[in-house]
A and B are shown apart, each in its own frame.
Chain A
Amino acid sequence: MKIDTKTKVRSVSGEHIILGRADGTTDMTRVVGLNESAMELYRRLQGRDFGLDDVVRELTDAYEVDEPTARRDAAEWVEQMRRQHLIMD
């Protein structure tokens, strides 16, 4: 999978957000807030073709976290990013 190259992380008063349009026909916007670890993963995986194992590796690399916890967090991150259409296959 890959992070959608059309997205761009922006900073709002110290918080990280991604703006995306809900679809091409309306002006409604999706605004996705990224917490610190979600932002870290975004930064590390942007531009790469990656699998779940890569997400787990980046998490254990960046944070003091055991493998099962990292795997659970990684799956959750992928799920959330997919739901927001920020990750594509």
Chain B
Amino acid sequence: MESTAHLLIGGLPLRLAGGGGVAAAMSLPGMRPFWHRPAAAAEVCLRLDAAWPEADCRWLHRFDFASGKAECCFGVDAEGALVFRFDRYGRLRFDPRRPDEVCLGPIADADLLRYALWTAYALAGLWRGRVPVHASAVVHRGRAVLCLGESGTGKSTHTSLWMKHIEDTWLLNDDSPVLSVEEGAVVAYGSPWSGKTPCYRTERVPVAALLRLEQRPQNSLRRLATVEAFTALQPSCPPVLLHEERLTDRMVDFVGSVVGRVPVFRMGCLPDEAAARLSHDTIFPAQ
């Protein structure tokens, strides 16, 4: 029997349709807060437990999921659709000519189902101007600051320091907030994907700044011009977007429209209070 659930993630109304996969998806940590009662037809359908014939694929990218748990690959099938194979756990298909639907095969493993849903969102979202970005995001006085950086550079540490030392600050998401440009303004949303931190907030917040962090022996901060700002945000977008031209075209347009609208900084920092104060005072100068 087919079941259905509606979600609103990053401002994008989604319909999950399928068999037992729908209940499995909705029972993943973080999904419940995004459940919603649709006012209109959902823009995108994530079809779970879908079946489609195996087709020859041109594989473009192979990557490892969760330190060896699954060997994944990404490619294009004979019809030009984008295909993911999550090792023996399952697969996903998205045809850019029909961007209102993403098909996922049955996926029994919770970690891989969670990851496949994130991937599905990244693909469908890109066609609607929204991208999950690898970042830790805090909100201060109603505006979001997204800390970007390679894993282990201290994104969460820096946002924790803001929460500890800067009043009126709260965590929006600790791993994968959704960025979007709406009516000329860049906004960030919380999402069901927040890394190890169970922070599943649904708020939509205007973005004050993006901060690319690097560990350094002293604190320093520099605002970036366009090309450098592009270079700062691009690596925080889902890596797969670099591996296929239609995805890359859209990603470049998206990143360009974001960095043309909000200030982007490169910050060398220590894990200390002074670092949080420096970024705060620069982004929110005293009135």
B256 contact from A11, A21, A29, A33, Cβ within 8 A: A11
Interface size, A (range): 10 to 19
- Of B22-30, B205-213, B228-236, B275-283, the one contacting chain A is B228-236
Q: B41: CB under 8 A from chain A?
A: no
B260 contact from A10, A13, A21, A31, Cβ within 8 A: A13
Q: Collect the chain A residues with CB atoms within 8 Å of residue B239's CB.
A: 27
Q: B197: CB under 8 A from chain A?
A: no
Known: A19-B248, A27-B235, A29-B235. A12 touches B242 (CB 8 A): no
Bound together, the chains give a CA A33 to CA B229 distance in angstroms of 11
Least CB distance from A20 to B in Å reads 10
Q: Which secondary structure dominates chain B's binding surface?
A: helix
Q: Collect the chain B residues with CB atoms within 8 Å of residue A31's CB.
A: 227, 230-231, 234
Contact A29 B234, beta carbon cutoff 8 Å: yes
- CB nearest to B234 among chain A residues: A29
Q: Collect the chain A residues with CB atoms within 8 Å of residue B103's CB.
A: none
Contact A28 B227, beta carbon cutoff 8 Å: no
Contact B235 A12, beta carbon cutoff 8 Å: no
Contact A13 B226, beta carbon cutoff 8 Å: yes
Bound together, the chains give a CA A8 to CA B252 distance in angstroms of 12
Contact B226 A12, beta carbon cutoff 8 Å: yes
The 8 A CB mask of B236-251 against A (1 = contact, 0 = none) is: 0001001001001100
Q: A68: CB under 8 A from chain B?
A: no
Interface size on B, residues (CB 8 A): 17
Contact B259 A13, beta carbon cutoff 8 Å: yes
B242 contact from A8, A14, A17, A29, Cβ within 8 A: A29
Least CB distance from A43 to B in Å reads 18
Q: B255: CB under 8 A from chain A?
A: yes
A14 contact from B226, B245, B249, Cβ within 8 A: B226
A19 contact from B252, B257, B259, Cβ within 8 A: B252
Which of B231, B239, B245, B248 gathers the greatest number of chain A CB atoms within 10 Å?
A: B231
Q: Collect the chain B residues with CB atoms within 8 Å of residue A10's CB.
A: 249, 252
The 8 A CB mask of B253-266 against A (1 = contact, 0 = none) is: 00111011000000
Contact B256 A13, beta carbon cutoff 8 Å: yes
Which of B230, B239, B245, B255 gathers the greatest number of chain A CB atoms within 10 Å?
A: B230
Q: A15: CB under 8 A from chain B?
A: yes
A12 contact from B245, B248, B249, B252, Cβ within 8 A: B252
Q: CB within 8 Å of B: which residues of A?
A: 8, 10-15, 17, 19, 21, 27-29, 31, 33
Q: CB within 8 Å of A: which residues of B?
A: 226-227, 230-231, 234-235, 239, 242, 245, 248-249, 252, 255-257, 259-260
The 9 tightest CB contacts between A and B, nearest first, are A13-B260, A12-B256, A33-B227, A27-B239, A31-B231, A10-B252, A13-B226, A15-B226, A12-B230
Some 20 contacts from A to B, beta carbons below 8 A apart, are A10-B249, A10-B252, A11-B256, A12-B230, A12-B255, A12-B259, A13-B226, A13-B257, A13-B260, A15-B226, A15-B227, A17-B227, A17-B230, A19-B242, A27-B235, A27-B239, A28-B235, A29-B231, A31-B234, A33-B227
Given A19-B252, A29-B242, A31-B231, 20 new contacts (CB under 8 A): A10-B252, A11-B256, A12-B227, A12-B252, A12-B255, A12-B256, A13-B226, A13-B256, A13-B257, A14-B226, A15-B226, A17-B230, A17-B252, A19-B234, A19-B242, A27-B235, A27-B239, A27-B242, A31-B227, A31-B230
